[in-house]
């Protein structure tokens, strides 16, 4: 097989990545491209890109793209999906984007059960702007705005926003995964496949939270960052299925 044929159809060839070595974003982009191809929805896919390191996702994914103002991804995805129900709509967002400035949009789009898929990249910091504390930052984690470590008395506790929305009746599918190990990457692909199928069947909102290394802002090597995801982040944010109401929703539709 020629190397060329191993590229997923919706992943642009011969582009040099702008992501830092060991960053999780590129892995997730590649998985999205593979699943779009496998489920045959790439031609009608529309990706809403966030303000954040993934703002340039259109450099890699060969599908239609809209750029979102910071945090507004699911509001845009809602409008696009309601106006064009034939489109397959993905909102790709970081944790600063989705769980800080975009909290209202996240909560209400999930509560409305919009037929969209959210890919939520949780790297426990604001990556693009220099590693500031995010709502997802772990207790005691040092960041540029919490140099002594996150302190619950001052800064509150790590926000489990995917668990919050998973409890909403409109959320058909929610899973938390990691891309820090080969096994985690396989599970991420399975979860993204389930989430995309949820939207294809018209069952409502689906979200996959991906615990993703940010070696640059964590001031770690790529290997140390993967270990930190497994040993520290995964203790706070347990990977696994958070809700699967697809069968219930299929019955309601029948």
Ligand X SMILES: Cc1ncc(C[n+]2csc(CCOP(=O)(O)OP(=O)(O)O)c2C)c(N)n1
Binding residues vs ligand X (CB under 6 A) = 50-54, 70, 94-97, 121, 123, 126-129, 134
**Which does residue 170 touch among ligand SF4, ligand X, none (CB within 5 to 8 A, set by kind)?**
none
> Minimum Å distance from CB 188 to ligand X?
16
Report the C-alpha gap between 245 and 234 in whole angstroms. Answer: 24
What is the dihedral sign for C-alpha 197, 199, 202, 204?
positive
Of 130 and 156, the one with the shorter C-beta distance to ligand SF4 is 130
Q: 106 is written with which tokens?
A: 């996240």
Least Cα distance to 205 among 111, 120, 122 occurs for 111
> Minimum Å distance from CB 237 to ligand X?
14
**Which does residue 105 touch among ligand SF4, ligand X, none (CB within 5 to 8 A, set by kind)?**
none
**Which does residue 95 touch among ligand SF4, ligand X, none (CB within 5 to 8 A, set by kind)?**
ligand X
Which residues form the interface with ligand SF4 (CB under 6 A)?
19-20, 23, 25, 53, 123, 127-128, 214-217
**Which does residue 139 touch among ligand X, ligand SF4, none (CB within 5 to 8 A, set by kind)?**
none
**Which does residue 215 touch among ligand SF4, ligand X, none (CB within 5 to 8 A, set by kind)?**
ligand SF4
Of 137 and 199, the one with the shorter C-beta distance to ligand SF4 is 137
Q: 65 is written with which tokens?
A: 């793209």
Of 51 and 203, the one with the shorter C-beta distance to ligand X is 51
Of 45 and 53, the one with the shorter C-beta distance to ligand X is 53
Report the C-alpha gap between 79 and 84 in whole angstroms. Answer: 8
> Minimum Å distance from CB 239 to ligand X?
19
List CB contacts of 206: < 8 A, sequence separation 6 or more: 116, 117, 118, 171, 172, 173, 174, 194, 195, 196, 198, 199
Alpha helices in 92-245 (DSSP H): 95-96, 103-112, 152-155, 161-166, 182-200, 215-218, 222-228, 234-236
């Amino acid at each position: 097989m020629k190397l060329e044929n191993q590229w997923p159809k919706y992943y642009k060839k011969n582009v040099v990545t702008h992501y830092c070595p060991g960053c999780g974003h590129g892995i997730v982009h590649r998985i999205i491209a593979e699943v779009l191809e496998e489920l045959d929805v790439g031609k009608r896919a529309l990706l809403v890109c966030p303000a954040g390191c993934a703002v340039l996702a259109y450099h890699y994914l060969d599908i239609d793209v809209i750029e979102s103002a910071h945090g507004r991804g699911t509001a845009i995805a809602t409008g696009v999906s309601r106006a064009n129900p034939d489109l397959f709509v993905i909102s790709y967002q970081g944790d600063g984007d989705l769980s800080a400035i975009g909290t209202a949009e996240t909560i209400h789009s999930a509560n409305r059960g919009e037929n969209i898929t959210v890919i939520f990249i949780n790297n426990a910091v604001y990556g693009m702007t220099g590693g500031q504390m995010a709502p997802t930052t772990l207790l005691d984690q040092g960041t540029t705005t919490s140099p002594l470590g996150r302190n619950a008395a001052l800064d509150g506790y790590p926000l489990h926003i995917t668990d919050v929305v998973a409890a909403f009746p409109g959320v058909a599918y929610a899973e938390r995964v990691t891309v820090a190990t080969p096994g985690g990457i396989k599970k991420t692909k399975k979860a993204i496949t389930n989430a995309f199928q949820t939207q294809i069947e018209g069952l409502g909102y689906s979200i996959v939270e991906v615990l993703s290394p940010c070696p640059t802002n964590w001031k770690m090597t790529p290997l140390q960052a993967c270990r930190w995801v497994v040993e520290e982040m995964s203790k706070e944010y347990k990977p696994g299925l958070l809700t699967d109401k697809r069968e219930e929703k299929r019955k309601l539709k029948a």
